[in-house]
Amino acid sequence: MRNIQLLIQYDGTRYNGWQSQEHTNQTIQGKLTKVLERMLGEPVDLQGSGRTDAGVHAAGQTANFRTKTMISCEEILEYVNRYLPEDIAVLEVREAELRFHSRLHAIRKTYIYRIWNSPISNVFERKYMYQVKEILDAEKMKEAAALLEGTHDFRGFCANKRIKKSTIRTLEQIEIEQKGSEMSLRFTGNGFLYHMVRILTGTLLEVGVGKRKPEEMTQILASLDREKAGPMAPALGLCLWKVEYDNGDV
């Protein structure tokens, strides 16, 4: 038995997210699994590092599956990229330890949310950036972001109100960078709750346009109330940038 690890990127625009679903074949996991099963001639249980939502992109999604095949990693890489749709690509195929699991062994994830801060649309990047026409105060957003960093209970920034598992996460860094009309928010942490990054982004954008004060972030965290946080930013601006493991693999 072998354990094969994949590094994947995709444009999530036309897909219903990562996870396979019974009512649609338009999922990233579904497309990959179908191609792998056709190649290997056996069932494939493809485990991803996380479930990106419909419309969310990935530059560094990871996944793994176990197989009895002796087909080389190089042959797997060549085959899947030949038959996958043009908006999904496997960047790397490698042999992993048998015990390796893409989701359970991930120690850090980084997401990037891209914003186009201009009243004029960006024609060529419109599928990958959320347009905000009002002028954003990046410094105020950075003040607010600093209050969100660290280990906190992020229940107030989770879209699943009935979640029973722990909602405590460590948000190592929120880096906000602006170059011309483009602003990027880079979130790095040990894990993220359902829609957490998009709710954090929507809340920080409210700070940026002056609807909230930076110090309100502390109050939202303490409230544990989703209704106190801002709106959820649209999916199109979000990208899973990379997933890291304790052996240094990305």
Torsion of CA 82, 84, 88, 89, to 10 degrees: -30
Q: If you count them, how many residues does the chain have?
A: 250
- What are the φ and ψ backbone dihedral angles of 40, each rounded to 5 degrees? -85, -20
CA distances from 22 to 27, 54, 176, 199, 213 (A): 10, 15, 38, 28, 44
Q: Residue 224 has which token pair?
A: 């544990």
Beta 150-153 vs 168-179: how paired, if at all? antiparallel
Q: How is residue 80 annotated by DSSP?
A: H
| C-alpha to C-alpha distance for 96 and 87, rounded to whole angstroms | 26
Task: Choose, from 45, 53, 87, 249, the residue flagged as catalytic.
Answer: 53
Residue 174 to residue 186: CA distance in whole angstroms: 5
Distances (CA, A) of 223 to 33, 145, 226: 42, 17, 8
Active site residue 225: no
Nearest Cα to 199, choosing from 163, 168, 156? 156
Which residues have a catalytic role annotated?
A: 53
